[in-house]
C-alpha cells in the first residue's frame, strides 16, 4: 500500500485505520515526511500505541466518517491511505467515508484502499474518483487486493 502513495507533493498524506502502525512505518520508510503524514484512528487503545510508537506524528483520535472535520479546512490532501474494512461496514457508513475522500482529495490526489475480496471490482463506484490501478498482493497473508483511485474533480 505504501508504495502506491506518490512521494512528491506538499499536501497531506492521511492514513485511516492505522491499527498497530505497520502501514504507517512503511509510509515513513518509503519517503513520506513525518510533517506530511496525519494518522486517524478510532480505537483509543491503538491511538495510545501509535502515539508511543510514533511520537513525532500527528495522530488524531477520530472517525473516518467525519474526516473533513478533523483536517484543517485549508489543508491540501495529496493522498488518503485506508486500511478500513469498507466491504464489511454497513454500506451507508462506507459511502460516508468515501464521500470524505471525494471532499478532501485535491484533483489528481490518490486514495489507496485494500480489500481481502480478490475480485477486481470496487464494492460501489465512487463518483469523482477514477480507478487507476488494482493489483493482488499475494505475499500478504491472506492475499489482498490494493486499489488506487485518483480524484478527478
Burial class from Cβ neighbours inside 10 Å (0-12, 13-18, 19+) for residue 74 reads exposed
Q: Please count the other Cβ atoms lying within 10 Å of the Cβ belonging to residue 132.
A: 14
How sure is the predictor about 149, in pLDDT bands with cuts at 50, 70 and 90? very high
Mean pLDDT of the chain: 93
Domain count, the chain: 1
Instruction: For residue range 51-87, list pLDDT tens digits in order.
Output: 999 999 999 999 999 999 999 888 999 999 999 999 8
Which CATH number goes with the domain that contains 34? 3.40.50.150
Q: In 3-state terms, what secondary structure has residue 27? A: helix
Q: What is the pLDDT of residue 125?
A: 61
Its domain, for residue 76, covers 2-151
Amino acid at each position: 500500500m505504501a508504495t502506491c502513495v506518490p512521494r512528491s507533493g506538499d499536501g497531506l498524506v492521511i492514513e485511516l485505520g492505522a491499527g498497530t502502525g505497520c502501514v504507517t512505518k512503511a509510509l515513513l520508510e518509503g519517503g513520506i515526511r513525518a510533517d506530511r503524514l496525519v494518522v486517524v484512528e478510532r480505537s483509543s487503545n491503538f491511538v495510545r500505541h501509535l502515539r508511543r510508537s510514533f511520537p513525532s506524528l500527528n495522530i488524531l483520535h477520530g472517525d473516518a466518517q467525519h474526516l473533513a472535520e478533523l483536517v484543517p479546512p485549508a489543508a491540501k490532501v495529496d493522498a488518503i491511505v485506508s486500511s478500513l474494512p469498507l466491504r464489511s461496514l454497513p454500506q451507508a457508513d462506507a459511502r460516508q467515508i468515501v464521500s470524505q475522500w471525494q471532499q478532501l482529495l485535491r484533483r489528481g490526489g490518490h486514495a489507496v484502499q485494500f480489500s481481502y475480496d480478490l475480485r477486481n471490482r470496487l464494492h460501489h463506484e465512487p463518483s469523482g474518483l477514477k480507478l487507476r490501478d488494482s493489483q493482488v498482493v499475494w505475499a500478504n497473508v491472506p492475499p489482498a487486493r490494493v486499489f488506487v483511485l485518483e480524484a478527478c474533480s
